[in-house]
Amino acid sequence: MEVKQITAETLTKLRQRMIDFIRAGHGDRRITKQGFQWMKEVSPQDLQEPGTVLLIAIEDKKIVGLLATADYGRKEAFVLVHKLYRENGIGVALIQELMKRIDKVYGKVALDNIPSLKMCFAMGMVGFKVVTGPTGKHTLCLGLGNWRKDDVN
């Protein structure tokens, strides 16, 4: 498996493949409409903003994982792993690669999303607040790296 960063130059070429990956249900239908819309609209200029990173995991020329953050995860953050490739450390590898590029990241995970919570805790993320998420579910706010609770509303 290889992890690649999507750059301003590669975004146009790979955007539709990433959208199709999300549509294929590898996020178990947990990616919000807002997150999906962000992926459709993210611009090459957006990828130059601090804390905005797109990474894909590739195996045999096929996307098997996708990670997106905008504004260190405060605006958008999600990780998806292909259903057939789960439990192979791909999500963890994507987050490790992310942390080589930025010094902190925030995420929100619904409390009923046990696989995502397990991945976040395996990475050392710290839960610091429970909020009502966009779908009305109780959602845990998490941080990793040089995060600060007061960075998040």
Parse the chain into domains and list their residue ranges.
2-151
- Residue 70, helix vs strand vs coil: strand
pLDDT, tens only, 30-62: 788 888 999 999 999 999 999 999 999 999 999
Rg (CA), the chain: 14
Distance CA 78, CA 116 (A): 10
The answer to whether 70 touches 76, Cβ cutoff 8 Å, is yes
pLDDT, tens only, 102-153: 999 999 999 999 988 998 998 899 999 999 987 889 999 999 999 999 988 7
pLDDT, tens only, 67-95: 999 999 999 999 999 989 988 989 999 99
pLDDT for the residue numbered 115: 86
Pairing of strands 76-81, 62-70: antiparallel
* Architecture category of domain 2-151 in CATH: 3-Layer(aba) Sandwich (3.40)
pLDDT for the residue numbered 26: 67
- Residue 63, helix vs strand vs coil: strand
pLDDT for the residue numbered 27: 66
pLDDT for the residue numbered 119: 86
Distance CA 125, CA 40 (A): 28
Candidates 91, 150, 96; CA nearest to 117 is 91
Strand partners for 56: 4, 66
Q: Is the pLDDT of residue 29 over 80?
A: no
Q: Is the pLDDT of residue 25 over 80?
A: no
Lookup result for tokens 């990670």:
67
Instruction: Determine if the pTM surpasses 0.75.
Output: yes
What amino acid occupies position 18? M
Task: Kindly report the number of other CB atoms within 10 A of residue 74's CB atom.
Answer: 18
pLDDT for the residue numbered 28: 63
pLDDT for the residue numbered 130: 95
- In order, the DSSP letters of 13-35 are HHHHHHHHHHHTTTTTT-S-HHH
Distance CA 51, CA 34 (A): 18
Candidates 49, 147, 47; CA nearest to 107 is 147
